[in-house]
Amino acid sequence: MSFPWAKQYEPTNGLTKFLDEKLPVPRLVYNAVGAGYPVPRNLSYFWNFGVLAGFFLMLQIVTGVVLAMHYAANASVAFATTEHIMRDINWGWLMRYAHANGASFFFIVVYIHIFRGFFYSSYKAPREMIWLLGVVIFLLMMATAFMGYVLPWGQMSFWGAKVITGLFGAIPLVGEPIQVWLLGGFAPDNAALNRFFSLHFLLPFVIMGVVIMHIWALHIPGSSNPTGVEVKSESDTVPFHPYYTAKDGFGLGVILLLFFAMVFFLPNYLGHPDNYIEANPLSTPAHIVPEWYFWPFYAILRAFTFDFILPAKLWGVLGMFAAILMWFFLPWLDKSPVRSGHYRPLFRKFFWFGLIPAMAVLFYCGGAPAEEPFVMLSQIATAYYFLHFLVIIPIVSQVEKPEPLPYSITEAVLGSDKKAVLGENTEPAV
């Protein structure tokens, strides 16, 4: 679907006419990210991050395919082939650093994308399906990133794999058989490394498939916007190309500056020194920490320390998974008639002074050693995190009185909308 004023693709020469008849890929591109896709004219830079996430997915696939040409998924040589890539392969160091830091940037970009969705309630009708697919992408990303971190077969790779698969051991009765089945052994070894490599190679393509559905679903209602007011007329929109291709191009340049600064000057800053020690099943690192993008969820896992009816370990595992899975229900928990946080005074306060500080604390504590005061801080933040999504949002969205919305996007941008004065359904704006 698209808006009735969307520009129509017109093949101009013989080749595009032929293609349009036989395999209308140019038309698809034109309508998806070209001039044929009308987009609200008032998007802020927060709306750049979807395209940026797509860019980093492609970057990870390209560098990942290159690395797979030189890597060997065998516990006896995996660490050595990684060093071989770093030392002997032409530009191998660049490929590996770009891939490792690319994963981090993918997560940075996706976290900003998700928090954009939280603040502007982008998950609300009619965009529930986009949101559900997005949560699926995020889960797949986490699985892919976790398995990718195992591949260099350093100390953190090994012990990360051991700890995370050990979580399944918390499930009553079937836990331990599942853990042994997942690893294909009693501890991470060749079998686990090989299947992780296979899945790490496969899952990005699954992600790409879900991303295509995510974009497809987006094109049915069209993009949301900072006012949360739906598009009413042509004057509310601009064609994606050239307006947003240009804006995304600039955004990509900025993020690439940061990315290359990390890759070339601080390539190991986001990594852990212990992963440059070859995996040793007989010696545990002083602090086992996952990569930074798992820290909030790792903090939630460790926040449950008291056996309340169920064992604390099981609470931790349930809490960690629930922390993400509950996002699936968000579209139906938030009953507010208004989307944008800009017009929801109470919701906005909870977002800025509740959720954001709680996430900051969880991020910090997840990377810190399991000592006081970090455990106690993460316990409070964990409690708030669950209250925010499952209690505060349903109640606040019911009770708060939203601020008055602009009549239309045009009015929000220009200060007035002729149709607002003339009444709806008059002549479309020029």
Partner 1 sequence: MIRIIAILVGLGFAFVALISFVVGAYTAATEEAPDTHLPYEHPQDVNFSFDGPFGTWDYGQLQRGYKVYKEVCSACHSLKFVALRNLGELGYTEAQVKAEAATWTVPGIDPNTGEASTRPGEPTDYFPKPYPNNVAAAAANNNAIPPDLSLITKARADGTNYVASLLTGYRPPSEELLAEHPEAAPGPGLYHNVYFPNMNLAMAPPLTSNGQVTYDDGTEATIGQMATDVAAFLTWTAEPTLVKRKQTGWPVLIFVLFATILAWFSKTQIWAAVKPKKTKA
Partner 2 sequence: MADNAATTAANTDTQVETVAGEFRRRDFINVAAISAAGVGGAAVLLPLISQMAPSKDVLAESTTELDVSAIEPGQAIKAVFRKQPLFVRRLTPQEIAAADAVPIGDLRDPQTLAERTKEGHGDMLITMGVCTHLGCVPLGAAEGENKGEFGGYFCPCHGSHYDTAARIRKGPAPTNLVVPDYEFTTDTTVVVG
Instruction: List contacts with partner 1 (CB under 8 A).
Output: 41, 80, 83, 86-87, 93-94, 97, 238, 242-243, 246-247, 249-250, 252-254, 256-257, 260-261, 263-265, 267-268, 273-274, 276-278, 286, 303-306, 308, 312, 315, 318-319, 322, 326, 329, 332-333, 335, 372, 375-376, 379-380, 382-384, 386-387, 389-391, 394-395, 413-415
Does residue 251 contact residue 53 with C-beta atoms inside 8 Å? no
CA–CA distance, 270 with 104 (Å, rounded to integer): 8
Identity of the residue, 82 or 144, whose beta carbon is nearer to partner 1 in the bound complex: 82
Identity of the residue, 70 or 348, whose beta carbon is nearer to partner 2 in the bound complex: 70
Does position 273 interact with partner 2 (CB under 8 A)? The reply is: no
CA–CA distance, 302 with 381 (Å, rounded to integer): 12
* DSSP conformation letters of 202-243: HHHHHHHHHHHHHHHHHTTT----TT-PPP-SGGGEEEIIII
CB of 241 to partner 1, least distance (A): 10
Does position 361 interact with partner 2 (CB under 8 A)? The reply is: no
CB of 34 to partner 1, least distance (A): 14
Identity of the residue, 62 or 112, whose beta carbon is nearer to partner 2 in the bound complex: 62
Pairing of β 237-239 and β 38-40: antiparallel
Find tokens 């295509």 and name the residue. 212
* DSSP conformation letters of 162-216: HHHHHHHTTSTTTHHHHHHHHHTSSSS-HHHHHHHHHHHHHHHHHHHHHHHHHHH
Does residue 430 contact residue 410 with C-beta atoms inside 8 Å? no
Binding at 125: pick from partner 2, partner 1, none (beta carbon under 5-8 Å per type) = none
Site for partner 2 in 7-26 (CB under 8 A): 26
C-alpha triplet 211, 243, 27: angle, nearest 5°: 55
Angle between the 356-367 and 374-387 helix axes, to the nearest 10 degrees? Answer: 140
Site for partner 2 in 228-267 (CB under 8 A): 241-242, 245-246, 249
CB of 355 to partner 2, least distance (A): 37
Binding at 383: pick from partner 2, partner 1, none (beta carbon under 5-8 Å per type) = partner 1
Q: Mask of contacts with partner 2, 56-95, x by CB under 8 A? A: ------x---x--xx-------------x--xxxxxx-xx
CA–CA distance, 175 with 168 (Å, rounded to integer): 5
Instruction: Name which of 148, 159, 161, 58 is nearest 96 in CA terms.
Output: 148
CB of 277 to partner 1, least distance (A): 5
Identity of the residue, 146 or 315, whose beta carbon is nearer to partner 1 in the bound complex: 315
**Residue 247 a catalytic site member:** yes
Binding at 9: pick from partner 2, partner 1, none (beta carbon under 5-8 Å per type) = none
Does residue 148 contact residue 164 with C-beta atoms inside 8 Å? no
**Residue 20 a catalytic site member:** no
- Report which residue type is found at 111: Y
**Residue 287 a catalytic site member:** no
For partner 2, the binding residues (CB under 8 A) are: 26, 34, 62, 66, 69-70, 84, 87-92, 94-95, 241-242, 245-246, 249
| Residues recognised as catalytic | 219, 223, 247-248, 291
